[in-house]
Structure 1
């Protein structure tokens, strides 16, 4: 507990604030449907695009539905899908990158060239092709976004692992006869986890923005479900009236991305994350 408290004290206030925002929206993925005042599709007033009030803090949408409830329900799609896709991208990239860095040779060359080919395809073009071919179901969106951002995560992880693998303490472990699994788990991974987590945060933000853009074009989550990008698109008519229905989902996206960036800035350093070097094997 003392070690955890010491590390938390090293995190700037901005990082704690950003982390709190991110944790709040992650909690809404699990609890949003329970704490929302109304069902997502319930028409609560015959007047549309009502302004913010005590009864409807986010106003009402183009059908008279409560926007606060819609935003809370939408968190499960925007945040949930982005989180799952980011875990796939960063997890796959980390594993492949460390394997390529340790094994080197033909395996490294094949993985690097294959993922270089994938990263050369513009992300939105790839997304449009996948959605056109397979539809826009939630599994397709998760796998599509995860695949798009795996090459970038791979390149970061491989570069970090190659740098750590050249250090003396790794050479000492190899000379002791330690296996590849031990070297990856005990020597390389603890020394790259900070930058990898920072990169994971960036992947998460990129995926949120990609999925919001797809939904704004009508190619993301489909009715009756809606993520935040869909909420902005379907309430665009309220923009001319200054209705909060079009502003609040956009602010939710902004708060999530800003919060994650603040957390990344605070947690990106090795010291804040407890990144370490095995000083017992190298001076």
Structure 2
């Protein structure tokens, strides 16, 4: 029997960082001291009591841009992750339960997509599609769903061979019941761990696309695009590009810490002690 839940220090750090970033994302228009694209000072001004993080390459308040950037970065990454898990997990479970030619066909299609480097594939697709947030979410979600499909199918194949699943089939339960009531609850642990990794991958993927000019388009802000906008200042010792890069790292670390704790709680690896 598990004892009272104790949250380790690492998970607390991750929860606090994630909470602060989510609050910034949700309440950006009320928290940010200036508008997203408002030019308020000279180019690359240093930190001051007026501009806590200084200004960017156009004279916009960097703190305000960071807050609005958190909103767009987290939103697009979260939506892409939700799409990848919904699509990948359902298709992976279906392939494992149905088996046969459907399983072979779906697996070969996924193998084909995974054979192409994800960033290269994303750049090719986004270069011919309209540049907007919906396109980014769809492309990122579909490309990421291939990894979720492989994991979900591998886990579902093992669970599908267990006695309680066979009993459900003998009772005449449908495909939906078997997937969502029999297999999904027993596949949560690896999927929880993968959820954190997929979200981090989506953040890094979005940042890379924006840095290369095919992600979030100006004047909207995301952290990867802000690194690109201010990268020339690094030569002059201006940290404007390093601040959004540090925010990306902080978000990735915090999600990893929380996902690791949730995985530990889900699988009871430490016998009720966290």
After TM superposition, the score normalised by the length of structure 2 is 0.91
Residue aligning to 2:220: 225
Residue aligning to 2:88: 93
**For the Cα contact (< 8 Å) 1:52–1:244, is it kept in 2?**
no
Please tell me the root mean square deviation across aligned C-alpha atoms, in Å.
Answer: 1.9
Alpha-carbon distance in 1 for matches of 2:195, 2:166: 28
Matched, 1:144 2:139: yes
Matched, 1:159 2:147: no
Match of 2:266 among 268, 273, 276: 273
Alpha-carbon distance in 2 for matches of 1:200, 1:162: 20
Question: What number of residue pairs does the alignment pair up?
Answer: 267
Post-superposition CA distance 1:189-215 (Å, at most 9, x none)? 111112112212111111111111111
Match of 1:31 among 14, 27, 34: 27
**For the Cα contact (< 8 Å) 1:49–1:244, is it kept in 2?**
no
Partner secondary structure for residue 50 of structure 2: coil
Residue aligning to 1:279: none
Matched, 1:106 2:104: no
Post-superposition CA distance 1:227-270 (Å, at most 9, x none)? 1111111112221233232221111111111111112222224x
Post-superposition CA distance 1:134-188 (Å, at most 9, x none)? 1321111111111111111001011111111122222233334433322222221
After the TM superposition, which segments of 4 or more aligned residues of structure 1 sit over 6 Å from their partners? none
Match of 1:205 among 186, 200, 203: 200
Matched, 1:56 2:71: no
**For the Cα contact (< 8 Å) 1:98–1:161, is it kept in 2?**
yes
**For the Cα contact (< 8 Å) 1:164–1:170, is it kept in 2?**
yes
Residue aligning to 1:12: 8
After TM superposition, the score normalised by the length of structure 1 is 0.88
CA change 1:13–1:172 in 2 (3 A) is: farther
Residue 274 of structure 1, CA deviation: 6.6
Q: Structure 1 stretch 83-92 or stretch 172-181: which is displaced more? A: 172-181
Residue aligning to 1:281: none
